[in-house]
Amino acid sequence: MTNVESKIIKVHPDDNVAIVVEAEGIAEGQVLGTGGLVAKGRIPQGHKLALTDIADNAPIIRYGEIIGHALAAIARGEHVDESKVRLPTAPALEELPLATRPAPDVEPLEGYTFEGFRNPDGSVGTKNVLGITTSVQCVAGTVDYVVERIKRELLPRYPYVDDVVGLNHSYGCGVAINAPAAIIPIRTLKNIALNPNFGNEVMVIGLGCEKLQPSTLLDDQPVKIYQNTEAADPDANVLSLQDESFQGFGEMVEGILAMAERHLERLNRRRRETCPASELSIGMQCGGSDAFSGVTANPAVGFATDLIVRAGGSVMFSEVTEVRDAIHLLTPRAINQDVGRALIEQMAWYDDYLAQGQADRSANPSPGNKRGGLSNVVEKALGSIIKSGNSPIADVIGPGERLRRKGLTFAATPASDFICGTLQLAAGMNLQVFTTGRGTPYGLSMVPVLKVSTNSRLGQRWHDIIDLDAGRIATGEASIEEVGWELFHLILDVASGRKQAAADRLGIHNDLVLFNPAPVT
């Protein structure tokens, strides 16, 4: 990365564009560097300017890769915005190199630990939360009502339980439950309930007549129905509101409270204990990205990713549409050809999914991304994949599947922040790192979410929402390595409960949003 007098940043020696660093942008006529580069017009922060004359239809290069072609001749010093860039063809999937890059020669990172909650299945949580799963949206209002009662009346008696959350969603009925693609929302819901932060305490509230029966969400566990009788099963894990043993709403609520108390009693026995960093399962995500994302926050996240992998932990990166245009840089990193082919299969599936919806990859980026200087999805993808660091890609999982291997995993998800977060939660992450350049109050109640700003302007303006400012990299106040280590230590502190993520401190939490490519009836 080349920094020219802290005014513009050129990432790669081959680049013919650079981005503006200054918060106020640069003015028309401003001279940049010693080569006599003059800005031809005002250029906002994060936006690109041409470092050379670029001919009509010539490639526009950033990160050493072609991000587009000029729609007309662009003069040296001119603002290069989306209106001047033609989207290039996506990399063909048929002949990509598979598993051709040797794994980097790095030493294991030993001796790092955090204080987590060990579970009977061997997983480790970073929180101790009672999660109440729902089988259908019809019961969401009741669950919200009950969660407030539990927090007010029961939770104070169980000081070692951090929270109680309702895992509400919009699925469960009025859907083609047997359609092949319905497996995605169904396994997502099943696997969310198994997240390590829920301590293997699965509790399902259903209505009774829905297509997605509660027992489907527990097909690997015994189903124990709660009934409103004196002989109620103390280990019950399913309650249906239409059960005829309930007379009125009040008895339904009391039944859920009674069932919840049994789960709270067991969760309250959990204690934090010292666990190796290899038990971390971290989801890496970006949202509200800008042109700094691939220069500051995402490279620092990638450095932290490599540290976690070296420590034996699990990291996942996601967002298919923000990987698709950089897939040629990822398939060589697969640990073997099977993993490389799995990457290609996920790209092809999503290409077909978009085509069926009469959409294509140009639907990404968002208006905010473009205001932050990103011209198209190619530029966005090249900055996004840097979150994956340099580690070999050990596995690929489909939407809603659980992590299977330690190391770096590509977890296929849409790029939508809230859908990606929901699917990473189902995959088993126990903490999430979320980078943003435009800003977002996004958070999840089930796992800590650490937000990293890509530019210091946002970090200072949103000082009480952002957990770590990576914009210091652009101004030369810190290096990628320094911020990467800072993030790694922050992850350990938050996973241990020594520090609290800003979203948790403020109580800012998003709803779960399922990915459902199957028909709705």
- The region, left, alpha or beta by phi > 0 then psi within -120 to 50, assigned to residue 374 is beta
Is residue 273 within 8 A of residue 116, CB to CB? The reply is yes
- Residue 230's pLDDT is what? 74
Is residue 175 within 8 A of residue 520, CB to CB? The reply is yes
Is residue 322 within 8 A of residue 415, CB to CB? The reply is yes
Task: Give the residue among 280, 134, 270, 282 at the shortest CA–CA distance from 199.
Answer: 270
Burial pattern 307-337, b for ≥16 Cβ within 10 A else e, equals bbbbbbbbbbbbbbbbbbbbbebbbbbbbee
Q: How far apart are CA 370 and CA 462, in angstroms?
A: 20
Read off φ and ψ for residue 24, nearest 5 degrees: -90, 5
Please state, in angstroms and as integers, the Cα–Cα distance from residue 50 to each residue in 17, 24, 84, 386, 474, following that order: 5, 19, 11, 23, 19
Beta bridge partners of 49: 18, 79
Q: What ranges make up the beta strands (E) of 145-190? A: 163-167
Per-residue pLDDT of the chain (521 residues; tens, 9 = 90+): 544 444 899 999 999 999 999 999 999 999 987 678 999 999 999 999 999 999 999 999 999 999 999 999 999 999 999 999 999 999 999 999 999 999 899 999 999 999 999 999 999 999 999 999 999 999 999 999 999 999 999 999 999 999 999 999 999 999 999 999 999 999 999 999 999 999 999 899 999 999 999 999 987 788 899 988 877 788 899 999 999 999 999 999 999 999 999 999 999 999 999 999 999 999 999 999 999 999 999 999 999 999 999 999 999 999 999 999 999 999 999 999 999 999 999 999 999 999 999 998 888 899 999 999 999 999 999 999 999 999 999 999 999 999 999 999 999 999 999 999 999 999 999 999 999 999 999 999 999 999 999 999 999 999 999 999 999 999 999 999 999 999 999 999 999 999 999 999 999 999 999 999 999 99
Residue 194: HSE in the Cβ half-sphere, 13 Å Cα cutoff: 23
Task: Kindly give the interhelix angle for 183-192 and 417-427, rounded to the nearest 10 degrees.
Answer: 60
Q: How far apart are CA 446 and CA 279, in angstroms?
A: 17
- The region, left, alpha or beta by phi > 0 then psi within -120 to 50, assigned to residue 428 is left
Residue 423: HSE in the Cβ half-sphere, 13 Å Cα cutoff: 28
Please state, in angstroms and as integers, the Cα–Cα distance from residue 49 to each residue in 204, 237, 282, 476, following that order: 55, 60, 36, 20
- Residue 3's pLDDT is what? 46
Q: What is the pTM of this model?
A: 0.96
Farthest-apart Cα atoms in the chain, separation: 86
DSSP state of 26: B
Task: Give the residue among 338, 457, 454, 467 at the shortest CA–CA distance from 386.
Answer: 454
Sequence letter at residue 422: T
Q: How many CB atoms lie within 10 A of CB 459?
A: 22
Tell me the chain's radius of gyration from C-alpha atoms. 24
Is residue 110 within 8 A of residue 145, CB to CB? The reply is no
Name the helix (H) or strand (E) containing 418: helix 417-427
Q: How far apart are CA 170 and CA 179, in angstroms?
A: 17
